[in-house]
Structure 1
Amino acid sequence: MNQTILRAALAALILPATLAQADTLLKIDATAPVAAPLQGHLKQGASVSPAGVRIGANSQYLTRDGQPWFPVMGEFHYTRSPASDWELELRKMKAAGITVVASYIIWNHHEEQAGKFDWSERRDLRRFLQLCKKVGLEAVVRIGPWAHAEVRFGGMPDWVVYAMPTRGNDPQYLQYVQRFYDQIGQQLKGLMFKDGGPVVGVQLENEYNLRGPGKGAEHISTLKRLALKAGLDAPLYTVTGWDGAVYPPGEVTPVFGGYVDEPWATSTRELAPKETYAFRFDTRVSGDLGAQTVTHERGTADDEIGKTPFFGAEYGPGVPFMYRRRPVIAADDVASMVPVQLGSGVNLIGYYMFHGGRNPAGRTWLQESTGSGGYNDVPLINYDFQAPLGPDGQQRQVLTRLRPYHWFLQDFGARLATMTVRKPAAVPANAADLETPRYAVRSNGNSGFVFVNNHVRKYAMAAHEDVRFEVALPGGKLTFPSTPVDIADGDYFIWPYNFDLDGPVLKSATAQPLARLDLGADGVVYVFAAHKRIPVELAFEPALARQLQAPGARVAERDGKLVVDQLQAGTGAAITIARQGKGPVRVVVLTASQAEQLTIADVAGKRRLLLSEQQLVVDGGELQLRSVGSSAFRVAVFPALAKVSTAAAGVQRGTDGIFQTLAATLPERQLTASVAPLRAAQAVPPLLIGGNAKAAQEPGPETFGAAASWQVTVPPAQLEGLDDALLTIDFVGDIGRLYAGVEMLDDWYYSGYGWQFGLRRLGARLAQPLTVSVLPLRADAPIYLDNKARPDFGGQAQLAQLRQVTVTPVYLLRLNMK
């Protein structure tokens, strides 16, 4: 007897008892047809490249050559990173699944003095965009002229702010805006999409909700006209759509966002559950995004929901530390937000910030501060943002959590883009309802995806036991999984149903699709990610019983479906389905941790799957692996590489399931830093309460004379041969600052989140000792700190401690594949 049929017969004898339990059915109606997208409402700029590629936009999604297109966009501010780092950091973003880079062009970073423009070194916008093209990334330029970006005067030069009205159609102001736009146009000449360049979009202004003569939609129309006059002719024009934004309908596309905490808030306590974690069915605005102008009027975007696509630009994969509020964000706090946005209908996911940075030096400090009239105080230099990639390019855990969604969208975003959001019959009453299940469906016809989120930052969600989903489809009801599952506090996922596997149909799955790899005559490989806790179940049409092989798994006909469960997630082919006249379909189900290690890239002329705990970058014929703290490297590759060589000690080759493995160990390095006290802290005065927020303000410059200081010496010779070395400064206090001589290199608000500084960029300056200064934190300081970070003052009025300074090596292994 066929082994698959035998297993099915045996399983049928033992399954009825397991199905006797009562199910919790989460029901949703997806029978209504998907409306055809509205065409022609959005007035695009030049949308065809010299190669004939056309970018389009309808009321639901972007298109590329007539096919749905679902980009993943990440913000990276070129002026906040050394120009020498740009190419590598852009490659890191691409290796993380980013397809479009967004960046503010911050006016006062380029024209701090009237008429004296600086487009050199880290301000070289043209070179930055040329590198985007070289690396294979497209770009959206956010040209302001007002940006916010936690910059002094929102990016407006002082001489503009002091001399004239801004953010409206004042003739004097527009004269200087046109000059700024013309300068941008010169930098971007030949780099627009229509010229074969990477620039596919232009954002006008930011968080704009001002009304009145010469303002509102009239001003946005004027800015678009000035941008076109400057040669900034792009397929897509956007404005931020939150906080009551106003704009001319059809002339621009609104974009949205959401953050998992509000460091701009004034509360020193935990915030109420954030709306960002709740599916949205009637609005696209996800709570307070920190706009500095306030309106209580209805925004243009609210009236255009049926006419414009749902695009994101500022979903925060972290948040900044602001003086009065310093929330530390966990990776799951961010990753759980993504299924919510996708399940709410987002068809472009955009992150702010995806890469952290540091402010450039100017004639004055260029950060936002209450002292210069801003709503917030932020560090003078540091703009870490808890981003997936830190200011020195270090990979954070949140990146590994987000990356599987990016691969999902890369291969299956075109399917998702055409799907309509379906609302459950019962939805949470509000963001504070932690009992009602949070889920949604996006579908088109009989196929779709279920989105579930049972995670809310800082709050426990109700567990839901014995859950099955019942989706009413045009072809009838589909109930899955066959064995009920428990959804615990903290769970979140995306599961497909009626999912086409190049012929065979996956009726349902309790695993997330990750990738599709076409191997030509050798068939197709589909990659899924198992949930960290919920067992994997894959269901097919019963007719596939003779074609399907699932070694080691249980295969049984159940509920009218061929169910495969009790399979072992990992690197092997869990299921193989034979196809007549074609190569087979193989299904690989990676474990949750393996899925977080996955990078997909073109390597040696083929699209390949790469699994590694190390940070991966592909540069031409070279595969680069960076490892922080460990000299051991391992990467698994599929399909296998024919040629691999390295200048390091021999690479050990092996296999792991369908993957080829490559491993090597570099000589281990022990790095040291010596610390010597320079001066003890003095008493600091109570914090001032004031500013626009009427909250705690950062102490004035003179107060820093009371800071404790230590001399830190790192012998530069010990860094030779390393890719970098990260200086980690573990302190307790209010504000830390790092100096080389009297030059401030970096600064940090104490929060409990690790402060790191890459030493490679210091060069010869490392030959002199560094200085760490810590301003004391007062016990009565009215600022928000996470409970885990709030220090025990032990009855003292203030604390300023340097607990430890360490230096961690960053190793680099280069694998040549030519």
Structure 2
Amino acid sequence: MGWMSLCLAMTCASAETILAVDASSPAPAALENTLKLGTTVSTTGHAIGVNSRYLTRDGKPWLPVMGEYHYSRAPAQQWEAELRKMKAAGVDIVATYIMWNHHECEAGRFDWRGNRDLRRFVELARRAGLDVMVRVGPWVHAEVRFGGIPDWVVNLMPTRRNDPQYLEYVARLYGQIGRQLKGLLWKDGGPVIGVQLENEYNLGGEGEGAAHILKLKELARAAGLDVPLYTVTGWDRALYPSGEVTPVFGGYPDEPWAASRKELPPKETYAFRFDTRVSGDLGAQTRGNQRGTAESDMNTTPFLGAEYGGGLPFMYRRRPIVSPDDIASMLPVQLGSGVNLLGYYMFHGGRNPVANPTMEESAATGGYNDTPAINYDFQAPLGPDGQQRPVLGYLRQQHLFLRDFGERLAPMVVRKPDLVPANHTDLAMPRFSVRSLGDSGFLFVNNHVRQYAMPDQAAVRFSVKLPGQTLTFPSQPVDVKNGAYFIWPINFDMDGVHLTYATAQPLARLDTGKGDVTYVFAATPDIPVEFAISGVSPVRIEKSSAVTTARIEDKPQDVLLRVEGPASDVEINLRVADKRVRVMVLTPEQARSLSVGVIAGQRRLVLSDAQVWFDEKGLQLRSKDDPSFSFAVYPRLAKAPVGAVWTERKDGLFQRFDARVAQVGGQAEAFVLRQAGNVRPVPVGGRANAAMIPYPEQFRPAAAWTLRTSAPKAPQVEQYLLQPDLVGDVARLFDGVAMVDDWYYSGYGWEYPLAAGTSRAFTLQVLPLRADAPIYLDQQAWPDFGGKPQAALLRGVKVAPVYRAQARF
């Protein structure tokens, strides 16, 4: 009888469901030298490699997080702070498209200045501690006009194939990119570790397919772009030269590019993948009619991600809003399916450059989608103006887990449960997976599907058959409720303490000095926290009053620790040999406010509801519309911070500091400029045969307001955000006669930045939304038309200050 068959009277008397997985077979060895890489060793002696299962860094398994941020869609003066915010959010690699038509709008005239200064962006990424993946196209999609290929190229020659004229201009573009990045590549000690070629490429005609991707790689290398990793997107029957490039994958919680006006069936991205890496429709502009290369390359390439949706864009015909859980619940699924590079699209929102013609993808120019002309918010974790969205805290805790424990997870192989859902629309069967190597592993569970209620999985325990033992846990059955998702460790080493399992997720490991270490865990909502400590090594336990102990009846040397009311003052000290291993348990709410960074020369935990990031000066904090700041730090600081009037207090194991800056008020007034007229029916057509954004002439019935704004200059304010609260179809904001931003109404809040110390007048234009508009909005977003055929309302407008504070150490 295994020790985990702990039989408490109450447990044995009750019914339970055992969810089993066999992880006892040996993991196949990872294959080496299956991919032709560029130079992998830098001048600093560091090395990046890849085998058939995972990436390596300096010979060790590496499971990084990658987030997309488009430099040419963002103000250059914000880049440094935004890149540091990404680093603080647990991102390791920043990916960025190089949009050809942002740099060579006119043939032969390249512009790499200002917001288009790729070199400076990469240098700032290095300063922030980020690696860089450049996605060089030449076709990038990115919801940009002609997929990023300049008009003059589209008009003059065939694209996306081995046409000699086209390749001549692609070679010139790559040459320009190579000159911008000279000295910044990995081989030179720089941060650029990879190049993505093309995007969503499944064309298979003459001069296309694998031959075209191979030619692009040759051109990139000839331009000096010698990097460890060359990637291509692997979905929608992508074609590429096997062995020359590594496919990357993605998945989204909805399909804004779909033509449906209804809720979609459950998405594949919420179901564990055991036999394929290719998700469903990801919005490719072309359609392949052959088996993609990625399907046959599964045994020779690692499972890497590039486009797991950090949010969703709004297309004109379809505007779904996603919740933090809709995004975060995808992470255990992807990791539990074997993903070994967690890549997001987008991680940071932006705006298209203001240009004529406008730079967006549109049905009018042959695109499949109608996107806003300027706004590219994407509901991203970081908004276009650096706003921290609620989803960021949900994701950051998973990224911190990967930063400290990804080296353990990366080599582990996926183990398929004994019973799995019939398909991704089967909501009844429990969804879980195990990744393991030897007797160690992680359990991944997801019981959340966007817009669908999942049944509570009642009285559940998990049974994992490993090479040396079978573990059944927790000690008592638990209910996995609708909406739950989590990652639990199995046979997890904590610096000599053998943790057989925990019903909490590891978040971080800190060296806290003098031979002591701290392991930080996050409690799983609605499930009791247990730590099963094995007696393999003698361990002395010191615990707080919130922790109870129980002995295992058939292994009296083992201890089961139960945590009541996890909080930042819950502490378990485990002494093994001459080392103290401290276990800290955070509530789910605390875990979502957790950041980890270096303060006063030591890596520390920081809890704060404000937006925080780290730089050479210490801790930077931002707070929208709230002049109060508070953060807690662990381990404790010897001195209080400076930079604001910080007051100190005790907060459990943490040291908390509070400050308040002077409150200021931005002002906004709205004056009716013109009433709405009767809008015509929404046109239907285009490649999708769906609702199309009305032509400019059809905006004549739009309602309009003059917005007079005041944004007082104050040292404690970084910027202001204009927040129109409106109902309509399409909204456009003008500064004088220039459109500076636009928005598709969806029920999601729109914000536009105002510089401190300015007073401006804008014109806000709102095209009425017809009650019969053939578009998709989430049910809660549809307005009450009150029996009228259309609606165009400005319910209010606000100017919110973004306060800043600094804690220097």
Give the TM bin, normalised by the shorter chain.
over 0.9
Counterpart in 2 of 1:621? 617
Residue matched to 2:671: 676
The answer as to whether partners of 2:242 and 2:297 remain within 8 angstroms in 1 is: yes
CA distance in 2, matches of 1:91, 1:758: 20
1:798 aligns to 2:790 (yes or no) = yes
Tell me the CA shift for residue 296 of structure 1. 3.1
Cα distance change, pair 277–250 in 1 and its aligned pair in 2 (3 A): same
- C-alpha contact (below 8 Å) 1:573/1:586 kept by paired residues: no
Asked if the contact 1:104–1:142 (Cα under 8 Å) also holds between the matched residues in 2, the reply is yes
- 1:522 Cα shift? 4.0
* Amino acid paired to 1:403: R
> CA separation of 1:570/1:171 partners in 2, compared to 1, >3 Å: closer, same or farther?
same
Q: Could you tell me how far 1:718 is from its partner in structure 2?
A: 5.9
Distance 2:452 2:775 in 1: 21
Give the partner amino acid of 2:409: L
Is it true that 1:557 corresponds to 2:554 in the alignment?
Answer: no
Match of 2:24 among 20, 31, 51: 31
Alpha-carbon displacement from aligned partner over 1:509-528 (angstroms, at most 9, x marks no partner): 11000000112424110000
The DSSP-based 3-state class of the residue aligned with 1:414 is: helix
Matches within 5 A, 1:609-758: 609-648=605-644, 650-717=645-712, 721-758=716-753
Q: Deviation digits for residues 506-546 of structure 1, max 9, x if unmatched?
A: 11111000000112424110000001221111111146786
2:662 and 2:24 map into 1 onto residues whose CA distance is: 61
Give a deviation string over 1:100-128, Cα, whole Å, max 9, x none: 00000000000011001000000000000
Using the alignment, how far apart are the partners of 1:345 and 1:15 within structure 2? 35
The alignment partner of 2:85 has SS state of helix
1:18, CA displacement in angstroms? 4.2
Whether the aligned pair in 2 keeps the contact of 1:696 and 1:783 (CA below 8 Å) is: yes
Contact 1:671 1:718 in 2 (8 A): no
Cα offset, 1:363, TM superposition: 3.4
Distance 2:793 2:639 in 1: 52
1:431-489 deviations in whole A, cap 9, x for unaligned?
A: 11110000000000101000000000000111111110000011121010001110111
Asked if the contact 2:257–2:369 (Cα under 8 Å) also holds between the matched residues in 1, the reply is: yes
For the residues of structure 2 that align with 1:228 and 1:632, how far apart are their CA atoms?
52
- 1:572 matched to 2:569? The reply is yes
TM-score normalised per structure 2: 0.97
Match of 1:526?
519
| Contact 2:363–2:369 (8 Å) recurs in 1 | yes
- CA distance in 2 between counterparts of 1:296 and 1:407 reads 41
Residue 495 of structure 1 aligns to a residue in which SS? Answer: strand
Aligned partner of 2:77 in structure 1 is 84
Q: Distance in 2 between matches of 1:17 and 1:801?
A: 59
List aligned pairs for 1:750-769, cutoff 5 A: 750-760=745-755, 766-769=758-761
- Which one-letter code corresponds to 2:692 in the other structure? Q
The answer to whether the Cα contact below 8 Å between 1:75 and 1:354 also exists between their aligned partners in 2 is yes
Out of 163, 187, 192, the residue aligned to residue 156 of structure 2 is: 163
353, 356, 359: which one pairs with 2:346?
A: 353
Q: Secondary structure at the match of 1:371?
A: helix
How far apart are 1:393 and its partner, in Å? Answer: 0.4
- Written as runs of structure 1 = structure 2, the 5 A alignment for 1:782-797 is 782-797=774-789
2:668 & 2:468 partners in 1: Cα distance? Answer: 68
Cα-to-partner distance string for 1:605-652 (whole Å, 9 max, x where unaligned): 11111110001121202311111121111111112223344343x211
Structure 1 residue 304 and structure 2 residue 297: aligned? yes
Q: Superposed, which structure 2 residues align to 1:282-301 within 5 Å?
A: 282-301=275-294
Q: 3-state DSSP class of the match of 1:715?
A: strand
- Pairing partner for 2:582 from 582, 586, 593: 586
Distance 1:625 1:172 in 2: 51
1:597 aligns with 2:593: yes
Report how far residue 739 of structure 1 moved: 1.4
Query: 1:73–1:99: 8 Å Cα contact kept in structure 2?
Result: yes
Deviations 1:653-711 (A, max 9, x none): 12222221111111222332111111101111111111000111000011122111111
**Aligned partner letter, 2:616:** G
What is the TM-score with the length of structure 1 in the denominator? 0.96
Give the distance between the partners of 2:320 and 2:570, measured in 1 at CA: 42
Counterpart Cα distance in 1 of 2:221 and 2:355: 30
1:254-275 CA distances to partner (integer Å, 9 max, x unpaired)? 0000000000000000000001
The Cα offsets for residues 715-765 of structure 1, whole Å up to 9 and x where unpaired, read as: 2336664112111111000011111111211100000000011212xx67x
- Consecutive unaligned residues of structure 2, counting only runs of 5 or more, are 1-5
**Cα contact 2:333–2:445 (8 A) shared by 1:** yes
Inter-partner Cα distance in structure 2 for 1:88 and 1:726:
17
Contact 2:458 2:478 in 1 (8 A): yes
Identity of aligned residues (%): 58
- Kindly indicate whether residue 765 of structure 2 is the aligned counterpart of residue 770 of structure 1: no
CA contact (8 A) 2:706 2:761 kept: yes
Which of 162, 177, 184 is 2:177 aligned to?
184
What CA RMSD, in Å, does the superposition of the two structures yield over aligned residues?
Answer: 1.4
Code of the residue aligned with 1:459 in structure 2: it is Y
Alpha-carbon distance in structure 1 between the residues aligned to 2:570 and 2:536: 21
Q: Distance in 2 between matches of 1:110 and 1:362?
A: 12
On the 8 A contact 2:530/2:563 being kept in 1, the answer is yes
Q: Deviations over 1:393-420 (max 9, x none)?
A: 0000111110110000000000000100
> Matches of 2:515 and 2:436 in 1, distance apart?
31
- How many aligned positions are there? 800
**Structure 1: 5+ residue stretches without partners:** 1-11
Superposed, 1:450-465 pairs within 5 Å as: 450-465=443-458
Please, which moves more after superposition, 619-628 or 385-394?
Answer: 619-628
Query: Could you report, residue by residue, the CA deviation over 1:349-393 in whole angstroms, capped at 9, with x for unpaired residues?
Result: 000000000001233100000000000000000000000000000
Change (3 A) 1:795 1:373: same
Amino acid corresponding to residue 780 of structure 1 in structure 2: D
SS state of the match for residue 339, structure 1?
helix
Contact kept, 8 Å, 1:130 with 1:191, in 2: the verdict is yes
Distance 1:58 1:427, change over 3 A: same
From 406, 412, 432, give the equivalent of 1:439: 432
- C-alpha change, 1:34 and 1:546, in structure 2 (3 Å) is closer
What is the SS of the residue equivalent to 2:442?
strand
- Conserved 8 A contact 1:217-1:248: yes
Whole-Å separation in 2 of the counterparts to 1:376 and 1:182: 31
Query: 3-state DSSP class of the match of 2:86?
Result: helix
C-alpha distance in 1, partners of 2:710/2:759? 7
Alpha-carbon separation, structure 2, partners of 1:36 and 1:432: 34
Report what 1:4 is aligned to.
none
Secondary structure of the corresponding residue to residue 673 of structure 1: strand
Q: Which residue of 2 aligns with 1:396?
A: 389
Query: How many Å separate the matches in 2 of 1:56 and 1:482?
Result: 41
Alignment of 1:266 with 2:262, yes or no, is no
Q: Is the 8 A contact 1:542 1:557 kept in 2?
A: no
- What is the match of residue 9 of structure 1? none
**Offset of residue 185 of structure 1:** 0.4
Structure 1 pair 542–637 and aligned structure 2 pair: CA distance change class (3 A)? same
1:221-300 residue pairs with structure 2 within 5 A?
Answer: 221-300=214-293
SS class of match (1:714)? strand
CA distance in 1, matches of 2:286, 2:137: 15
